[in-house]
Structure 1
Amino acid sequence: MQSSVFQVHTGRGEVVHDITPQCAAFAREAGDDGLLHVFVPHATAGIAIIELGAGSDDDLLAALRDLLPADDRWRHAHGSRGHGRSHVMPALIPPYATIPVIGGALTLGTWQSIALVDLNVDNPDRQVRLSFLRDSM
């Protein structure tokens, strides 16, 4: 298994951050058939396969605000107001995704991108681990 970690600065606001270029470059370097596993080792972030740049990223953040309001209802209450919702979000948007790779190319659909989703305004820096599992055939 080939593995690598890169850093993402998400800032102090809610964000859907495109990490497709880093994922595609890693798959290209592998240059083989297999699976790319994308994992964010944080309790308050997730990985989504979603169309970006056409409003879907803003729609996702709006939907998460509706589902997980940044208010005082959360029992996990340290940090900024509503911080507990950031710990619930990975149950809805998991901290991982796996994408098939053929000949070193991601097999995403036409409008699909790989995004890091981060609602945690208290942690502006994230790590993403990419792992490539080669086809053994």
Structure 2
Amino acid sequence: MRQTSLALQVETKGRGFYEITRGLAQFVSNAGMAEGLLTVFCRHTSASLLIQENADPTVLRDLEAVFSKLAPEGAPYLHDTEGADDMPAHIRAALTQTQLSIPLIDGALALGTWQGVFLFEHRFRPHVRQIALHLIGA
């Protein structure tokens, strides 16, 4: 068994979805392993990770619309330290995932045909997000 890790930086321009599939595939390719498990971990409480369709952009627009209704700005939240999008960002992160596990089979991520991995930025202003990657395998 071998293992390797990397901190992937993702620069966001504000709220939205940022596909990171290529960066993950490059990390896996550079590791030179054939079988294993990739752990992807978002090191933030106001951003998260999703595996979602990457072919039709209307899927992401619909997801954003749903999350805007589930965690609206302007609700009477107690926590608003960093502005109106602060608590909604935490709610969005709580409803999604901060960690994903993706199998590595025959040297490639075992994602489905239409699946992509996305950083889901929940804040309005730009951020540099840290995504910890850890691959274990052979």
Residue in 2 that maps onto 1:133: 136
TM-score normalised by L of structure 1 = 0.90
Structure 2 residue 29 is matched with structure 1 residue 10: no
Gapped regions of structure 2 (runs ≥ 5): none
Aligned residue identity for 2:39:
H
Aligned residue identity for 1:100:
P
Distance 1:43 1:3 in 2: 21
Distance 1:70 1:27 in 2: 38
Among 83, 88, 110, the alignment partner of 2:86 is 83
Aligned sequence identity (%): 33
Tell whether the 8 Å contact from 2:55 to 2:114 is kept in structure 1 after alignment: no
1:10-42 residue CA offsets vs partner (Å, 9 max, x unmatched): 12x311100000011111122221011111100
Tell whether the 8 Å contact from 1:19 to 1:115 is kept in structure 2 after alignment: yes
Instruction: Please give the root-mean-square deviation of Cα atoms over the aligned residues, in Å.
Output: 1.4
Tell whether the 8 Å contact from 2:9 to 2:128 is kept in structure 1 after alignment: yes
The equivalences for 1:53-132 within 5 A come to: 53-54=55-56, 55-122=58-125, 124-132=127-135
Structure 2 residue 56 is matched with structure 1 residue 48: no
1:86/1:80 CA distance change after superposition, 3 Å? same
Q: 1:123 deviation in Å? A: 5.0
Q: 1:103 deviation in Å? A: 2.5
Q: 1:9 deviation in Å? A: 1.0
Distance 2:68 2:95 in 1: 13
TM-score normalised by L of structure 2 = 0.90
Tell whether the 8 Å contact from 2:38 to 2:133 is kept in structure 1 after alignment: yes
Distance 1:26 1:103 in 2: 15
SS at match of 1:110: coil
SS at match of 1:17: strand
